[in-house]
A and B are shown apart, each in its own frame.
Chain A
Amino acid sequence: MVCVRQATFDDLLDIQNINAVCLPENYRLNFYINHILTWPRLLHVAEDNRKIVGYVLGSLDEELSYCHGQIASLAVLRTHRNRGYATKLMRAAEQAMRDVYGAGSVSLHVRKMNNAAFCLYSKTLGYK
């Protein structure tokens, strides 16, 4: 059962776990706590049968004078690819940035070699 929803506190340990399993950039739990306490609406998870299988951490760039969002981290378990989870997570994050904070733009970093991610951002989601 696919479900994309806002992350709750109880999801944080699972988010950390997915990050540790899938990505080389890892964080201690207080990073996630800090994140959810600063921008509670910008964390989303994808859930399959009550098990977290993906997440997105959005944030705001506080240094700029205009409201600009950022995608800090995104990961979906490899076993759950090709289902559109990443797209849905990204759209949920963008929507929240728009609705809650009135952000007009959003940016992110991606490795050039990471083809799948690059296609997701440039082709599917329209990033330049």
Chain B
Amino acid sequence: MDHNLLSKIATNNGHGENSPYFDGWKAFDANPFHPQHNPDGVIQMGLAENQLSFDLIQKWIESNPSASICTPQGAFAFKETAIFQDYHGLPEFRTAVANFMNRVRGNRVKFDPDRIVMSGGATGAHETLAFCLANPGEAFLVPTPYYPAFDRDLRWRTGVELFPVVCESADNFKVTREALETAYKKAKLANVKVKGMLITNPSNPLGTFLDRDTLKDIVNFVNDKSIHLVCDEIYAGTVTNGDEFVSIAEVIEEVPKCNLDLIHLVYSLSKDMGFPGFRVGVVYSYNDNVVNIARKMSSFGLVSTQTQHLLASMLSDDKFVENFISESRIRLAHRHDMFTRGLAQVGIGSLESKAGLFFWMDLRRFLKEPTFESEMTFWRVIINEIKLNVSPGQSFHCSEPGWFRVCFANMDDETTLVALWRIKTFVRKNRNLEIKTRKQYWQNGQHLRLSSRRLDDILTPHRMSPHSPLASPMVRAQN
């Protein structure tokens, strides 16, 4: 077959899906955990989804039938919604999204609905910004560790490069001015033209968020070098104590000399609200030119007006929004706590974090050697023996081996307990591994006890895994 028949982009590996990290996914797909049907299966802890607050949204939808254009109450809007393809988006949608974004930040900022540009999820937003801000061959600085799909989103079809800003555990993986300057110099030496910097705040995979001073440093840095700053705040609503989060939108008001033409935000409803299927991405730029052009590019990934209509209604319901934001935080905090306590019982630590849908777990002491090969070997143990799909730090370009991202918000309480139980069982079995306990949380001498019924489930013979490779009921429901 003539390989020149297709483009280079179609035939290279820029999509990143041939990486070994997909082995974890494959293991999960082949043998997905189900509390009743497949209790020995692999538990998915590699998926940063927020499944804790659907009931709130469902309740709202059921009380507001006119928000859907399919119900008798809402169908009157069907035609005008279906026809509307203006890439500015429904005005009420933009206003509602801006409103939501404001409230996630405690109304400490006021986003301008006219600067909100739609995109095909945050995935589309990142690619669009890369197209707008950099030419092929030019680079963005990105602090490590970072979300693996940035390699695809920012580089694949754009030809843009990513250049790492190495962050270390000694600094708790904080982005330091030093690290920035080092990276910038290194890029220059390598003849790489740096056009901008990308930060995810709160961070994926760290689950931490940047303090005001660090953000100011970053803003000063980009202004000094006259490069762009793209701030992905997709996890803003997962900060357990909302008041503590500082958005870039707040910081730029405190840096009077900031050239606003350099500042851009990416947002999405996929994490804060748990809607990844609805593909609601936002490009928000303080640069008029970028807003203009990104809007034209949004033609390639507009949000379905059916979805715009639904969300315009939902997100302009202030009462609902306020309640959702605060309740979601409480539930995330609770789940986060459950895990932290459970892990501490066996002396597993993770980076202290107050945001995100995951832990950045410190498993360095389980590695035979402090190498990435050992990390991969141990990762395979986690998947195949402990039966948890977690993500190894190297997939996030972490500079030090031994760290793993473990997601906690994409499962119910029951599964959480099973996951914890498996981890603890593994650690206790492997006492030959040196255990350096840091803090031990023993609340009233209590430790986790599983009901005997659950123990029975786990000990019953392995049942057939579902036929479908994907566990989603939407896939099983084939016509």
Asked if A and B are interacting partners, one says no
Residues of A whose CB lies within 8 Å of any CB of B are none
Residues of B whose CB lies within 8 Å of any CB of A are none
